[in-house]
Amino acid sequence: MLDPALLMKPPVDAWPTYHGDYSGRRYSTLKQINAGNVKNLTLAWVYRLNTSRSGAMLGGEGPETPPAVGPPSIKSTPLLLNGMLYFSAPDHVWAVDARTGREIWHFAWKTRGGDHIGNRGVGIYGNWLYFLTPDNYFVSLDLATGKERWHHEIANMKREYFSTNAPIIIGRHVIIGVGGDALDIPGYLESRDPENGDLVWRWNTTPRPGEPEAATWPNEYAMSNGGGMPWLPGTYDPELNLYYLGTGNPNPVLTGRSREGDNLYTCSIVALNPDTGKMAWYFQATPHDTHDWDAAQTPVLIDGVYDGRPRKLLAQANRNGHFILLDRTNGQHLVTTRMIDSLNWTKAINAKGQPVRNPEKDANVPGTLVSPDTSGATNWPPPSFSPDTGLFYVATRQSFSVMYLTDTDERPQGWAAAERNVGNVGSALKAIDYRTGKVRWSHPLATGPAGSVGGAMGLLSTAGGLLFGNDGGGNFVAYEPATGRPLWHAGLGANTSNGPQTYLLDGRQYIVVGAGDTLFAFALQQ
């Protein structure tokens, strides 16, 4: 049973929501494992994903034969409640004993299809668990047994929707969003009732006709097919009662033809009232995006000092290559800085703090050389903010692609352009001073025969003076948060693939992280 009061506290013996708490800081007050003893950190247990349908609790409306997809990768952050970990991959949910790594139950979803790219995790309300499937079902399970309670279809797979989001629970609202941009389809966020899964409200990611922001689209046709998928979980300020969410890219993806204008509310950070779904404010990080630079990255809530006085702030390391700081009470822009040197798609940063795109870097027939590539300077893996150092941690790439316009119709469709990746001239883990947006330190990631490798990664900072992440080269690393110096590492055979998390059980602190199809738990040698 999840006591809602847990959601308002720093995570210690529970990790009850995607980011551990509502702030998105991914900072733990635990310090049993600390800079002084981290060298004694050792393996506590491993759990390798069991995807067999035999012995699993089953649900879903698809065929008996599983789809021909490769082994899933753990992108979800496990939730911890009453000593059990709950996590997911596309079509699967597991409950695992947090002390031992033993599987308690496994739920397998018989899928009808959809893009199996990833699943960010589960949400918990009371004794119930919620998750989304690639074929767009909102499913609820009984927390104790993994038995299905009900499922609802929330989007149409035939329109190339697929769902990856981790549900976020605020009060009696289960907040979920849809994904997909292969076709030009509308994006929306929903609140669903935790008891029966019924729709409570829906917020559309593009305006309706008559709203002032509708003027940022040439016509209703473009606006109503304009994308903006809310495909990652957001953050929440209980005092302001605002839910902060980054929206996805507009459609068609790599060309602005047929959608002239800024294309609100795509590529935006928005603040919504979770009780009503009404928007309080928005800040668009990429007006008229033409490079797939959604703003879905975590909006991290920082209670800090800016201009000499305490402020409620919101920071985001955006896929478009910029660090952004806002006042989260009203969306007022405070800071925009460039996070990577290779970035070449902008002309300037305007008075509103938005990068101004250079139209010459829009995909064209003979190709334009763009940095970063469509994967962005960073991506979905959660960053971290440590109040101890005042630093925002994020990993970046400096990749180049050539983008070729392939659909020259005046009404282009889907992506409308092809991308050919050229190379990456430098990935790094960075620490950014949130007040100035300046990079305090930058630690290069690994190198292979083709040059720099690695990039966006899930991060966790702790009061023990540690920053957990990977090195791009298959090692799980504890870095010194003030300097980026590595203090401890473990070779996992693959890069970590989710956000690390931590908890204290029976007086023992664990660090849990996923790498590909395996979940690893570390603790101090006893």
Partner 1 sequence: MKNLGAFPIVSFVSFVSFVSIQAQQPQPPEPQFDPAAVERGQQLLASQCGFCHGSTGRGAASGPDLTRSELVQNDDNGTQLGAFLAVGRPDRGMPPFDLSRAQVSDLATFLHRAIYFASNRRLYKILDILVGDKQAGEAYFNGAGRCGTCHSPAGNLRGVGAKYDPVTLQGRLLLPRGRPPNPGGPPPPPLYTEPTAMKVSVTTPSGETASGALVRLTDFEVTLYEASSGRMRSWLRNGDVPKVVVTDPLQAHVDQLTKWTDADMHNMTAYLASLK
> Which positions from 399 through 418 interact with partner 1, judged by CB under 8 A?
400-402, 404-409, 411, 413-415, 417-418
The pairing of strands 103-109 and 57-59 is parallel
**How near is the Cβ of 231 to partner 1 at its closest, in Å?**
6
Q: Determine which residue in the list 119, 286, 379, 427 makes contact with partner 1, applying CB under 8 A.
A: 379
Residue whose pair of structure tokens reads 């047929």 in the numeric block: 258
CA distance 445 to 121: 27
Q: Copy the structure tokens of residue 456.
A: 């966006």
Label residue 346 left, alpha or beta by phi (over 0 means left) and psi (-120 to 50 means alpha). Answer: beta
Q: For residue 304, how many other CB atoms are within 10 A of its CB? A: 16
Identity of residue 196: N
Q: How many CA atoms does the CB half-sphere of 403 hold within 13 Å?
A: 25
Nearer Cβ to partner 1 (237/289): 289
- Say if CB 59 and CB 139 are below 8 A apart: yes
Residue whose pair of structure tokens reads 């300097």 in the numeric block: 483
Phi then psi dihedrals of residue 160, to 5 deg: 70, 20
Residue whose pair of structure tokens reads 């509708």 in the numeric block: 214
- Please give the residues from 445 up to 474 whose contact with partner 1 meets the rule CB under 8 A: 446-451, 453, 455-456, 471-474
- Alpha-helix runs per DSSP H in 308-373: none
Stretch that binds partner 1, among 64-72, 136-144, 331-339, 498-506 (CB under 8 A): 64-72
- 68 lies in the site for partner 1, by CB under 8 A: yes
**How near is the Cβ of 160 to partner 1 at its closest, in Å?**
5
Catalytic residue check, 409: no
**How near is the Cβ of 62 to partner 1 at its closest, in Å?**
13
**How near is the Cβ of 484 to partner 1 at its closest, in Å?**
10
Residue of 135, 262, 292, 471 with catalytic role: 292
Q: Determine which residue in the list 23, 73, 268, 461 makes contact with partner 1, applying CB under 8 A.
A: 73
- Please give the residues from 208 up to 267 whose contact with partner 1 meets the rule CB under 8 A: 221, 225, 229, 231, 248-249
- 181 lies in the site for partner 1, by CB under 8 A: yes
- 77 lies in the site for partner 1, by CB under 8 A: no
- Say if CB 63 and CB 97 are below 8 A apart: no
Q: Determine which residue in the list 12, 57, 104, 117 makes contact with partner 1, applying CB under 8 A.
A: 117
**How near is the Cβ of 435 to partner 1 at its closest, in Å?**
29
Helix (H, G, I), strand (E, B) or coil at 378: coil
- Please give the residues from 324 up to 363 whose contact with partner 1 meets the rule CB under 8 A: 341-342, 344, 360
Nearer Cβ to partner 1 (158/309): 158
Nearer Cβ to partner 1 (140/263): 263
Residue whose pair of structure tokens reads 């790439």 in the numeric block: 397
Task: Kindly list the catalytic residues.
Answer: 292
